[in-house]
Structure 1
Amino acid sequence: MHAFSDSTTATPTAVPVPPSLSLPMIEAAFPRQLHPYWPQLQEKTRAWLLEKRLMPADKVEEYADGLCYTDLMAGYYIGAPNDVLQAIADYSAWFFVWDDRHDRDIVHRRPVAWRRLRDLLHRALESPEDHLHHADPLVAGFADSVRRLYSFLTDTWNIRFARHFHAVIEAYDQEFRNRSEGIIPSVEEYLELRRLTFAHAIWTDLLEPSAGMELPDSVRQHPAFRRAALLSQEFAAWYNDLCSFPKEIAGDEVHNLGISLITHKGLTLEETVTEVRRRVEDCVSDFLAAEREALEFADLLADGTLWGRELGAAVRACVGNMRNWFSSVYWFHHESGRYRVDSWDDRSTPPYVNNEAAGEK
């Protein structure tokens, strides 16, 4: 099985998956899908990055398609209305750019600039309309994407999304402090923080506008739904750690499951890769069991009433997209230029970032 090497075409060509990162279970049991809107999605997100000045024009031209950010979302939120998927894709692209700014602020020791951005994002989350024209493109782009996401469901969903993303911002702040001070969190501390920096709750929240229904708390908190959602996200976070291990070691990172295992559990490099891989594979097999339980739960909800049928269908759509997350994440890591460290001139400096991002000089 191979990934699609060039996301500007629908014709697949061979991109081999390294044996150390190959997961035959994903390739065999999680067939990949792409939302039919994907070609327009890619074009419009590229234009949005330019319009919002989130990446310099030359970097958008050279790198945007190859980074495959839209492919990741188009492989996840299958069935989403086009406008919902577009808003999610733009927000996701913004998230990657924000992650890069956060990294550059750490590398270039810009704590004042980071704190300023952190505080502005907290405020923009509460009142995006007031920040649409902010001088910092990262703040304005965030406000625009959040404003659009807030338009699909109710204020209750918006408040929950905001609460979850406030926690993500604070987790990024904790990571900033850890990296600035060279603090490598314990495995347990890392796993808790990673659920926030990877924004587990956010990507799960976005399943709802994609399914066209806000789920009641009793459904979202049901053990069958929660377990399936968590496993899909844990897989993504830990597989990301496995794939980005070389990049993050080269960049003197302290936030990676492998780095915590080496530091606090005394594992060798080889043992660490084996352990992270084991956790990733367990997520896949555990999800298959959790998926069955979640689909049985969806069937129970479909009790013959109109509301029950609609609710059961929405849960089934959400669980189906949790499944899609596995294949989308897997292939993204082998298609995206974000992880091709060996091709970079400087293994610690991604070529697609703006190294002169807004901040202290």
Structure 2
Amino acid sequence: MPADKVAEYADGLCYTDLMAGYYLGAPDEVLQAIADYSAWFFVWDDRHDRDVVHGRTKAWRRLRFRLHAALDAPADHLHDRDPLVAGLADSAGRLFSFLPDTWNARFTRHFHAVIDAYDREFRNRLEGRIPGVEEYLALRRLTFAHWIWTDLLEPSAECELPDPVRKHPAYRRAALLSQEFAAWYNDLCSLPKEIAGDEVHNLGISLITHEGLNLEEAVDDVRRRVEECISEFLVVEQDVLRLADRLDDGTVRGKQLGAAVRACLANMRNWFSSVYWFHHESGRYMVDSWDDRSTPPYVNNEAAGEK
């Protein structure tokens, strides 16, 4: 974004506000690193969109490979000539400083999968291919980075959770529901923009194309799914609280784990309100006020690599 666009739009996009509402209780340096990474993620998403719109297949392929490389060796890419690659290197290096290498390896593995999922979306969009509902839902868990945002609960709680806790069915279900809510509510709020832009990746668009729903029925279906995420979370939340109580067995380690699970669960709950607020406050979704409902007014092709 050029300087005048930053001055006009950056604060109104509310990217860092979204993270501040999700990772409550995080140490300041952790929250700042997560907020910066979140802002980077939105910029990356816009670059990906511009590369699709303008058919920049070589530019996207080059960027994808360099992002994979920067993720594997952040220190080697801090001064990459592409600010987007350097930005990921900076973010990853900071995020990797808070917890042990086992957490870093997990985050790295999860984000490699996200980059590859963006590549599948790139190809679907170039081909005009609208995935079926189940295929879309599986892909959306990656393009929305469900497990990345869930991983980041742990440095916020200052504790890496052991696998038996993190993979406990109740904990994993609560995490998934908080992220499904966010992804599907995002689809609901993005639907006017993405229909205007002939998009192919949106739950509503998949429902219309493959389930034979009209627009109103698709909106109702997505809204129902969003509401069911809330209802089910309220039930499974109690199971996670009971898990935290069992972990808090009177030992120092048990007390630490119980407190960390409660903190992570509380922020899963915060994701619902933070995401809801963000979509109604951020200028990213105010399509009725844009000259072109398919393109945010702050997007600049030259800044995105247009030649």
CA deviation string 1:243-286 (max 9, x = no partner): 11001001110000000000000001111011000000000000
Contact 1:114 1:359 in 2 (8 A): no
Alignment correspondent of 2:23: 77
Of residues 150, 162, 169, the one that matches 1:204 is 150
Alpha-carbon distance, 1:60 to partner: 1.3
Alignment correspondent of 1:152: 98
Q: Does 1:59 align with 2:24?
A: no
State the secondary structure of the residue aligned to 2:22. Answer: coil
* TM norm structure 1: 0.84
Distance 2:281 2:306 in 1: 34
CA deviation string 1:205-260 (max 9, x = no partner): 00000000000001000001001000000000000001110010011100000000
Distance 2:126 2:214 in 1: 25
Q: Does 1:167 align with 2:113?
A: yes
Distance 1:111 1:321 in 2: 38
Alignment correspondent of 1:194: 140
In the alignment of these two chains, the number of paired residues is 307
Gaps of 5+ in 2: none
Distance 1:282 1:269 in 2: 20
Alpha-carbon distance, 1:360 to partner: 5.7
Of residues 286, 291, 306, the one that matches 1:345 is 291
TM superposition outliers: structure 1 runs of 4+ over 4 Å: none
CA deviation string 1:284-334 (max 9, x = no partner): 000000111111111110001110001000000000000000000000000
Distance 1:348 1:261 in 2: 20
Alpha-carbon distance, 1:345 to partner: 1.2
**One-letter identity of the residue aligned with 1:329:** V
Map 1:264-283 to 2 at 5 A.
264-283=210-229
Distance 2:7 2:250 in 1: 52
Alignment correspondent of 1:325: 271
Alignment correspondent of 1:92: 38
Alignment correspondent of 1:251: 197
Alpha-carbon distance, 1:347 to partner: 1.3
Alpha-carbon distance, 1:190 to partner: 0.1
Contact 1:91 1:145 in 2 (8 A): yes
Alpha-carbon distance, 1:56 to partner: 2.0
Of residues 47, 61, 68, the one that matches 1:122 is 68
State the secondary structure of the residue aligned to 1:353. Answer: coil
Q: Does 1:262 align with 2:208?
A: yes
Alpha-carbon distance, 1:358 to partner: 4.7
**One-letter identity of the residue aligned with 1:167:** A
Distance 1:65 1:252 in 2: 28
**One-letter identity of the residue aligned with 2:53:** V
CA deviation string 1:60-90 (max 9, x = no partner): 1110100000110000000000000000000
Alpha-carbon distance, 1:354 to partner: 2.2
Q: CA RMSD in A?
A: 0.8
Distance 1:185 1:225 in 2: 29
Contact 2:2 2:303 in 1 (8 A): no
Alignment correspondent of 2:185: 239
State the secondary structure of the residue aligned to 1:75. Answer: helix
Q: Does 1:225 align with 2:171?
A: yes
Distance 1:358 1:277 in 2: 33
**One-letter identity of the residue aligned with 1:126:** D
Q: Does 1:141 align with 2:64?
A: no
**One-letter identity of the residue aligned with 2:186:** N
**One-letter identity of the residue aligned with 2:7:** E
Distance 1:216 1:320 in 2: 18
Contact 2:193 2:295 in 1 (8 A): no
**One-letter identity of the residue aligned with 1:259:** I
